[in-house]
Structure 1
Amino acid sequence: MHLPSNEHENLPLSKFESMLKTNDVYFFDSEEFEDIIQHYLENGKMSLAKKATKLGLEQHPTATNLKLYRIEMLIFENELEVADSLLNELYVLEQNNQEVYIQKANILSRKDDHKKAIQLLEQALEYTDDEADVFSLIGMEYMFLEDFENAKYYFMKCLEEDETDYSALYNIIYCFECLGQHEEAIDYLNDYLNKNPYCEVAWHQVGKQYFMMKDFKKALAAFDFAIISDDRFIGAYLEKGKVLERLKKYEEAIESYSITLGLDDPTSFALLRIGKCYEKLGNKELALQFYTKCVEEDALLDKGWIAITDFYLKRRNYQKALYYIEKAIHIDSENVLYWKRYARINFRLKHYEEAEHGYRRTLELGNYELSTWLTRCDLLIHLGEFEAAVNNLFQAAEFYPENAEIEFRLAGLFYYLTEDRKAEFHLKNGLRYNAEFSIIIEELFPTVNERPSVRRIIAKHKKPSL
C-alpha cells in the first residue's frame, strides 16, 4: 500500500511526536531532524524545536546544521556568550560556512556592534549561494545605524536578484522616505514599473509618495493603477479613500472604504474612516453607527473611542462623552489621550475632584504640556489644596523655567499659605518675566490682589522709568 505523498513527507514528524509520548527512542538521520526542527520553528513551537535539537545532537554529535540550530536558539534566548563560544568551536572546522559568519554577525548585532556585524556579513558573501539573503541582512544592519544610503544600496541589490522581493522594495522606499527623497523614490519606482507594469505593490508605493508630497490627483491615479493590477488589494482601496477624504469627496471615499469590508473581515480603520466621512457629510446617525462598529471590531483602537467621545463633546452631550471615555479607560488605563478627555469632560461637568484626578493621571503618564500643569493647579486651588498646588507648580517649573504664569500662581499660593517672603520672591520673578500675566493675581487670588503691599510691588514694577 502506497501512502499519499503528504503523509509520506510527514512520517518523520509523526514518528518523532509518537516517540515523545513513549519511552522509546527512534533513530532519525540528521536531515530528518533538520526538517523536524524547521517545522517547529516555523510554527513557533520553540520547546519542541529545542527537544528535537537536543535529541538530534545526541544521535549526530558532529552534524554542523544541528549545531547551528542550537546556536540560533541560544541567540534567540539571548544566551549570547554561550552561542559565541559554540560558534568559535565550529569556526575551527567550518571556516567556509556562511551560517557561521551570519550567526556571528547576529550576535554582534544583538550587542549593537553593527559595524563589525557588517564586516562579518561581507565575509559571508564570499561563501554563500544565496547572496540576496546576505544583502538583506547587511541592509538591515545599515538601517540600525541609520545609514539609509548604504541600506538602500543593499536592498536594491536584493531586488536585482529577485524582482518579486517586495520586502526589499518596501525597505528601499522606507530608506528614500527617511532621506526625504520622495521624488527620487518615484523615479526609482517608475523604473521598476517599466519592467513590471502590473505590480500593484509598486503602484501603491508611488501613490503613497505622491500623498506625502500632497499631490493628491497623482496619488489617486497611482492607487487606481494598483487596483487595476489587483482588484482585491485592500491597502490600495484604503489609501484611495484617504486621498478622496483630502479632496473632500466624502461619498467616493466611503465607497472606496466600503469595498474593503466585502474583500475581507472589516478593519477598524475602514469603519472609523467611514464614520468620519459620514460625520463630515452631516449624517450623525450613520457616523455614530460606524464609530460603534469600529470599537466593537477593535476595542484597543484608541482613535475609535476618541471619535465617539469627541462626537458627543462637539454636541455638548458631556454625560454621553463621559460614559464612553470611562469605558475606554476601563479597557486601557494607561492611555494619556483618554485621561486628557476624561479631565476636560469632568471639568465641563463641574466634577472638579474627578477632573483634577484626570489631569494628575495625564501628568503621571508623561504628558507635560504647560496647560496641563496650570489647569491642574487651578483645580487644586479651587479645591483648597494649596500645598499640593505648590508641589505641582514646582514640578512644572522644572520643565518650564522662568515662566511668568507659574511664578504668579506660586506668589498667590504662598500669600495664601502666609509665607510672604516666598510670595514676594515669586511675585517679583513673575513681573520680571512677563508683567502682563499679573492679571493672574487678580483673577485667581482676589484677596491677595487687594493687599496694599502687593499693589505697591506691581505698581512699582509697572511705573515707567525716567
Structure 2
Amino acid sequence: MLKTNSIYFFDSVEFEEIIHYYIDSGKISLAKKAIKLGLHQHPNSILLKLLRAELMIFDGKFDEATSLLKELQAIEPTNEEIYVQQASIFSKNDKHQQAIDYLKIALLYTDDEADILAMIGMEYLFLDNFDEARLNFAKCLTVDFEDYSSLYNVIYCYDMQGKHIEAVDYLNKYIDKDPYSEVAWHQLGRQYFILENYKEALRAFDYAVLIDDTFVGGYLEKAKTLEELKRYKEAIDNYKITIDLDDPTSFVYLRIGECYEKLNKPTLSIQFYKKAVHEDPLLDKGWLAIAEISISNKNYYKALFYINKAIEIDEKNSLYWRKYAEINLKLNFFEEAVKGFQNCILLQDFDIVIWVGLSDVLCYLGDYKDALINLKKASKVFKDFAELEYRLSAIYFQFNDFSKAKKHLINGLNIDFEYHNEIKEVFPEVFKRQEVVDIISDFKNTSL
C-alpha cells in the first residue's frame, strides 16, 4: 500500500499485528503510518488508539497521550491497557506512587496478573521501597512459579536490604517446592557466598550444575567458591568448563591466571594473563597482573612496559602509579619515580609510604627544598611519625638549620629510637656528623 498508494482493506487485528511488528523492529515511522491507515479504516478501534497513545508516550507527548487515554477510559473503563499506559506516563515523570495507583486499577481488570504485579514491583523499586517491591514480585511467583525474572527481583530486594539470611530462608522454601530449579540453587549459592559460608555455597552450586550441566553461571560461581576454599586446581577446572561451554572471556582468563599464580606456577599464570588482555586489551587489571609477575621475576623493563599499559587505560588509579614509581626505582629512573609518587598524591593517595618514597628520591636527586616541602605537608597529615621526623631533621642539617634539625631529631628518637639505624642508610653523611652522633649519644645516656 505504501509503495503503490493502493488501498487494501485489513481488519483492525491485522493492523495491530503490523504495527506491533514495526514497533518491535524499531521502525517507528512505519508504525505511525500503519496506525494512520488503520484508524482511517477503523476510526473507532480502541486497540489502534491505544497503540497511537503508546507511540505518543514514546515521543514524549505526554499531554496528548493523557488526553487520548482519558477519552478511551470513558468509552471502555475496564480495559487494563488504558491504566497501564497512564501509569507509564506517571512513571516517566517520576511520579511512581501515582503510577502504582493506576497499575492497581489495571490489576482489577487484567487476565495477566503476573505482568501487572511485576510492573508494580518495579515502581516500588524506583521508590526504594524494597519490602513492597519484594512482596509484589513474590506474588508474581504465586501466579507463575517458574517466573525466574521475578525470583531474581525478590532476591535483589533482599540483597539491597542486606537481608541475606532471610534470602536463604526464602530460597530454601522455594527449593522445597521445586528442587530441580537450577536458578534457585544458583541464587542460594550466591547468598551463602555473600555470608562467607563457602561449603554450603559450593553444595548449592554443585546442585545447580548437576541439574543443568551447561549452566555457565553455575560453573563460574562454583569456581569462585573453590578459590575461597583454596582449592585452586578444581577452580581452574571449572573455569575451563565455562570456556568449553561459551565464548572465553577476559574475566575467566584472569581468574585462571590468578589461580595458577597461587599454585606458584608463574609461567602458566602469565600465559593466561596474556590471554586475558588479548581478549580485552582494555583490561587494566590484566596488565597490572603481568607487571607484578615481571617484577617478581626481576624483569623490570617488561614490568615498566606493562604498567604503562595499565596507566594508559586508567590514569586515575593510584595503585598503578605506585607500581610505576616502584619499577622506576628498580631501574634507577629517579625522575620518573618522582613523577609516579607525585601522581599518587595528586590522586589523594596520602599513604605515608608515598610521602617517604617521594622525599627520599628527591633527596637522592639533591632536591632538598622540594623534599622539605613535601615532608612538611606529610607532617600535617601524620603526627608523631618517626619516619618523617628523622627525614626532616636530616634535611635541616643539610641546610645547617641546627635548632630545627635538633628538634626533629629528638622528636624522632622519642618516637622510635631504633629507627635511627635505618635512616642512616638514607642519609649516611648526615649521621656521620659529630653533632648528630653527640645528640643520639646524649639521648641514649639520658634515657637509660
TM-score under structure 2 normalisation? 0.75
Q: Given that residues 87 and 102 in structure 2 are in contact (C-alpha distance below 8 angstroms), is that contact kept between their aligned partners in structure 1?
A: no
C-alpha separation in 1, matches of 2:127 and 2:342? 38
Q: Given that residues 33 and 52 in structure 1 are in contact (C-alpha distance below 8 angstroms), is that contact kept between their aligned partners in structure 2?
A: no
Give the 3 Å change call, closer, same or farther, for CA 223–383 of structure 1 in structure 2.
same
C-alpha separation in 2, matches of 1:298 and 1:377? 37
How many positions carry a matched residue from both structures? Answer: 421
Q: Given that residues 356 and 388 in structure 2 are in contact (C-alpha distance below 8 angstroms), is that contact kept between their aligned partners in structure 1?
A: no
Measured against aligned partners, the alpha-carbon deviations of 1:390-426 in whole angstroms (never above 9, x if no partner) come to 665677678x375757974996699599797xx969x
Give the 3 Å change call, closer, same or farther, for CA 197–442 of structure 1 in structure 2.
same
Partner of 2:53: 67
Matched, 1:122 2:101: yes
Matched, 1:344 2:326: yes
Partner of 1:45: none
Matched, 1:104 2:89: yes
Give the 3 Å change call, closer, same or farther, for CA 87–328 of structure 1 in structure 2.
same
The structure 2 residue matched to 1:194, chosen from 164, 171, 176, is 176
Matched, 1:314 2:296: yes
SS in 1 for 2:105: coil
Give the 3 Å change call, closer, same or farther, for CA 92–196 of structure 1 in structure 2.
same
Partner of 2:67: 89
Q: Given that residues 236 and 256 in structure 2 are in contact (C-alpha distance below 8 angstroms), is that contact kept between their aligned partners in structure 1?
A: yes
Unaligned runs of 5+ in 1: 1-14, 42-47, 75-82, 110-115
Q: CA deviation at 1:194?
A: 1.9
Q: How do residues 201-216 of structure 1 correspond to structure 2 at under 5 angstroms? A: 201-216=183-198
The residue identity in structure 1 corresponding to 2:259 is C
Partner of 1:225: 207
C-alpha separation in 2, matches of 1:170 and 1:373? 47
What is the root-mean-square deviation in Å for CA atoms of aligned residues? 4.5
Measured against aligned partners, the alpha-carbon deviations of 1:94-121 in whole angstroms (never above 9, x if no partner) come to 5552233322332233xxxxxx413422
The residue identity in structure 2 corresponding to 1:71 is I
**Larger Rg belongs to:** 2
C-alpha separation in 2, matches of 1:412 and 1:444? 12
Partner of 1:135: 117
Q: Given that residues 57 and 89 in structure 2 are in contact (C-alpha distance below 8 angstroms), is that contact kept between their aligned partners in structure 1?
A: no
The structure 1 residue matched to 2:236, chosen from 246, 250, 254, is 254
The structure 1 residue matched to 2:153, chosen from 158, 171, 180, is 171
Partner of 1:271: 253
Q: CA deviation at 1:37?
A: 4.1
The structure 1 residue matched to 2:20, chosen from 24, 35, 45, is 35
TM-score under structure 1 normalisation? 0.73
Measured against aligned partners, the alpha-carbon deviations of 1:255-287 in whole angstroms (never above 9, x if no partner) come to 222211111111222222222333333333222
Give the 3 Å change call, closer, same or farther, for CA 285–122 of structure 1 in structure 2.
same
C-alpha separation in 1, matches of 2:435 and 2:6? 97
C-alpha separation in 2, matches of 1:234 and 1:313? 34
C-alpha separation in 1, matches of 2:373 and 2:59? 51
Give the 3 Å change call, closer, same or farther, for CA 166–390 of structure 1 in structure 2.
farther
The residue identity in structure 1 corresponding to 2:67 is E
Q: CA deviation at 1:171?
A: 2.4
C-alpha separation in 2, matches of 1:395 and 1:149? 49
Q: CA deviation at 1:336?
A: 4.1
Measured against aligned partners, the alpha-carbon deviations of 1:344-390 in whole angstroms (never above 9, x if no partner) come to 22123222222222233344445454433443344344445566556
C-alpha separation in 1, matches of 2:261 and 2:346? 33
Partner of 2:46: none
Unaligned runs of 5+ in 2: 44-48
Measured against aligned partners, the alpha-carbon deviations of 1:123-148 in whole angstroms (never above 9, x if no partner) come to 22212434434433443444445443
Q: CA deviation at 1:446?
A: 7.9
Give the 3 Å change call, closer, same or farther, for CA 54–317 of structure 1 in structure 2.
same
Measured against aligned partners, the alpha-carbon deviations of 1:1-24 in whole angstroms (never above 9, x if no partner) come to xxxxxxxxxxxxxx77xx5xx9x7
SS in 1 for 2:25: helix
Q: Given that residues 203 and 223 in structure 1 are in contact (C-alpha distance below 8 angstroms), is that contact kept between their aligned partners in structure 2?
A: yes
- Residue identity (%): 39
Partner of 1:112: none
